Structure 1
Amino acid sequence: MDQRDSYALEDNKLTRQKREAVKQRLALICGKEDDIDEILNSLEAYCLIVLNTIK
């Protein structure tokens, strides 16, 4: 993400725990051929875009 963005993902224990929980839920929903990390990264990027757009 761009350094000018006021919203960015923090790299702390709570963020990593929440990210892992979402990853586990995605694993239940997605098929085995789906790249869960790619889906998670796309969701995170989309959320950051939305947050930076509505600020």
Structure 2
Amino acid sequence: MDQRDAYTLEKDTLTHQKREAIKRQLQLICEKEDNIDEILNALETYCLIVLNTIK
């Protein structure tokens, strides 16, 4: 079972705004050759695993 099955990310405006804000912050601290979208997806997956663990 995929971790995203238990908790799905909402596709509302607030979620999109927060995701873009975090993406901008990552761009400031990451190297130019780093894949920001990959890092952001990994962070989201990690958070979903934690939420599923404490559920």
TM-score (norm 2): 0.89
Q: Which runs of 5+ in 2 are unaligned?
A: none
SS class of match (2:8): coil
Moved over 3 A (4+): none
Q: Does the alignment pair 1:40 with 2:40? A: yes
Percent identity between matched residues is 68
TM-score (norm 1): 0.89
The structure whose residues are more often helix, as a share, is 2
Alpha-carbon deviations, 1:22-46, whole Å to 9, x = none? 0000000000000000000000000
Relative contact order, higher structure (CA 8 A, sep 6+)? 2
Q: Which runs of 5+ in 1 are unaligned?
A: none
Aligned pairs (5 A) from 1:13-32: 13-32=13-32
